[in-house]
Amino acid sequence: MTTDGEVRRGRRRGAGREAKRARAAAGGISQAYIKRKIPYYEILNAEGLEIIEYNADTILEEIGIDFRDDAEALELWRAAGADVQGERVRFPRGLCRKLVQDSAPAIFTQHARNPANSVLIGGDNTVMVPAYGPPFVHDLDKGRRYATIEDFQNFVKLAYMSKSLHHSGGTVCEPVDLPVNKRHFDMIYAHMRYSDKPFMGSVTAPERAEDTVAMARILFGDDFIDPETGQEKTVVVNLINANSPMTFDETMLGAAKVYARANQACVISPFILAGAMSPVTVAGTAAQILAEALAGMAFVQLIRPGAPVVFGTFASSISMQSGAPTFGSPEPAQVMYIAASLARRLGVPFRSGGGLCASKLPDAQAAYESANTLQAAAMAGVNFMLHTAGWLEGGLAMGYEKFMMDADQASMLSVFLGGVDMSENGQAMDALREVGPGNHFLGCAHTQANFESAFWRSEISDNNSFEQWQSEGSLDAAQRANIRWKSALSSYEAPAIDIAVDEALQEYIKVRKAAFADANY
């Protein structure tokens, strides 16, 4: 909890730092997200994508999707023209696509409480988001352990201070030191209080989604999210996983309904370990993903036409020997490329990606696997890149060092996605004429003029000579990252917040927590 003094100090200092941070991002240009200036990579041609789309429609028409324990959902589908048998819903060809294309926005703004940090989700934009969901945390000092609310707050702070992460994320780790039925209050409050970047809402029960919306109304004000007028701005993005294969359960449907009715965004994400929850092939998995995403996004449009949806996918493959999920491997990258193309053809934003890995440590395995997924996600055109930073151990652990290293890679990708400068200055013919054969460019006028903006630099990598590196302690990348996260946390200052708003949030939490039977827990 912060004192008034802290809040006021944070407001003053925070504003200056914020401006500086914004200027520093992306080579001096204020940018709360990445505006892509390079082409997408299309791994399949139109004919291949049409086959996948046809097969998805066949899945929807012949096999169908289960909507479990939700009579309202079944009634809505029946009214929309679907064939409902028990909980199985079968869809006339093209119905889901039509529902999505008729009303889902191709691009939407997720507002942050600091307007400079609002993000555009969809189109040619990329938003980098921390990892989501790990019950454990890991660092070099204490190893692996269960996550706490302090860890949660730490990752919110680290994401807030990161130049390359555009979002505070959601369940940056699972604070298992707090009771399951009430921890969402502390998680949402941490995002609201310790960051002013956009964040994600609770989806683990419909009433927790309602708490999220209620707290967002306090934070942003009733005029911002006004259920009376329907002029509701989108301030939370929410992860609605399909229960693959081809199933949505009542928890996810319940949360989706709450968010859709408040015009908050739903990321409909088939969660797939290919070979177990989908066929053992890329094309088969892609068709299933499209079918599930179409059914989920269309359902949101039935609840509230125009509510923002994101085509999500999380696909890994498994070891056929052990059943363990594997990351950084070729088949999930191919699935991601195809899904991104399908989302563009459908005209909705796309979520995938991230720094996925199976490693237990911030070692070379973690880095190879994460880089492979980050690269593919960037090339594919992911709009909402969940799990960008921190992932270890197949998502079971959030790593402090890993977080810093992945955020560094996200910074690299932001420059890559910014494209090639083909201006006269970029072509540099003057430099070539000035320097000529056999000389060097370090001192020429063009180099001097472009010195500040020249070349991305890692904040983690050591590029010095072996001897200098040795004289500085022969640290590896994880050890350097360890120094950086500690240094960042020690210099953290909270962004300013209106004291009345903060008090109202705390009061809401106090009242709501007291309403639980285990109030004294």
Footprint (CB under 8 A) of a second copy, residues 400-439: 405, 409, 412-413, 415-416, 419-422, 425-429, 431-433, 435-439
> Is residue 283 exposed (0-12), middle (13-18) or buried (19+ Cβ within 10 Å)?
middle
Q: Does residue 176 bind a second copy (CB under 8 A)?
A: no
Contact 333, 376 (CB under 8 A): yes
Q: Where are the alpha helices (DSSP H) in 249-318?
A: 250-261, 282-303
Q: Which of 346, 238, 233, 336 is nearest to 295 (CA)?
A: 346
Q: Does residue 450 bind a second copy (CB under 8 A)?
A: yes
Q: Does residue 516 bind a second copy (CB under 8 A)?
A: no
Beta-strand pair 314-318/265-274: parallel
Within 24-43, the residues that bind a second copy by CB under 8 A are 38-39, 41-43
Q: Which of 7, 25, 34, 44 binds a second copy (CB under 8 A)?
A: 44
Q: Could you tell me which stretch among 214-222, 252-260, 327-335, 341-349 binds a second copy (CB under 8 A)? A: 327-335
Residue where the block lists tokens 């030191």: 177
Coil, strand, or helix at residue 12? Answer: helix
Based on CB atoms, which residue is closest to a second copy, 131 or 209? 131
Query: According to the 3-state scheme, what is the secondary structure of 186-221?
Result: HHHHHHHHHCCCCEECCCCCHHHHHHHHHHHHHHHC
Based on CB atoms, which residue is closest to a second copy, 445 or 499? 445
Q: Report how far residue 356's alpha carbon sits from residue 402's, in angstroms, rounded to the nearest whole number.
A: 11
Q: Judged by CB under 8 A, how many residues of this single chain contact a second copy? A: 125
Q: Does residue 371 bind a second copy (CB under 8 A)?
A: yes
Q: Which of 238, 179, 247 is nearest to 206 (CA)?
A: 238
Query: CA angle, 127 as apex, 121 and 128 as ends, to 5°?
Result: 155
Q: Does residue 375 bind a second copy (CB under 8 A)?
A: yes
Q: Report how far residue 34's alpha carbon sits from residue 128's, in angstroms, rounded to the nearest whole number.
A: 8
Say how many C-beta atoms besides its own lie within 10 A of residue 147's C-beta.
Answer: 23
Q: Which of 17, 18, 35, 66 binds a second copy (CB under 8 A)?
A: 66
Q: Does residue 275 bind a second copy (CB under 8 A)?
A: yes
Per-residue CA distances from 408 to 160, 328, 457, 483 (Å): 14, 18, 9, 14
Q: How far is the CB of 316 from a second copy (least distance, A)?
A: 10
Based on CB atoms, which residue is closest to a second copy, 369 or 502? 369
Based on CB atoms, which residue is closest to a second copy, 243 or 506? 243
- Site map (CB under 8 A) of a second copy, residues 214-253, x = contact: -----------------------------x-xxx------
Q: Report how far residue 305's alpha carbon sits from residue 54's, in angstroms, rounded to the nearest whole number.
A: 25
Q: Could you tell me which stretch among 183-191, 257-265, 301-309, 363-371 binds a second copy (CB under 8 A)? A: 363-371
Based on CB atoms, which residue is closest to a second copy, 187 or 412? 412
Q: Which of 15, 63, 71, 445 binds a second copy (CB under 8 A)?
A: 63
Q: Which of 53, 70, 151, 393 binds a second copy (CB under 8 A)?
A: 393
Query: According to the 3-state scheme, what is the secondary structure of 304-355?
Result: CCCCCEEEECEEEEECCCCCCEECCCHHHHHHHHHHHHHHHHHCCCEEECCC
Q: How far is the CB of 123 from a second copy (least distance, A)?
A: 19
Q: Does residue 326 bind a second copy (CB under 8 A)?
A: yes
Q: Which of 21, 27, 51, 105 binds a second copy (CB under 8 A)?
A: 51
Say how many C-beta atoms besides its own lie within 10 A of residue 81's C-beta.
Answer: 10
- Site map (CB under 8 A) of a second copy, residues 76-95, x = contact: ------------x-------
Q: Could you tell me which stretch among 14-22, 91-99, 261-269, 320-328 binds a second copy (CB under 8 A)? A: 320-328
Q: Which of 18, 177, 226, 462 binds a second copy (CB under 8 A)?
A: 462
Q: How far is the CB of 313 from a second copy (least distance, A)?
A: 15
Dihedral sign for Cα atoms in the order 47, 286, 56, 131: negative
Based on CB atoms, which residue is closest to a second copy, 204 or 365? 365
Q: Could you tell me which stretch among 14-22, 92-100, 117-125, 317-325 binds a second copy (CB under 8 A)? A: 317-325
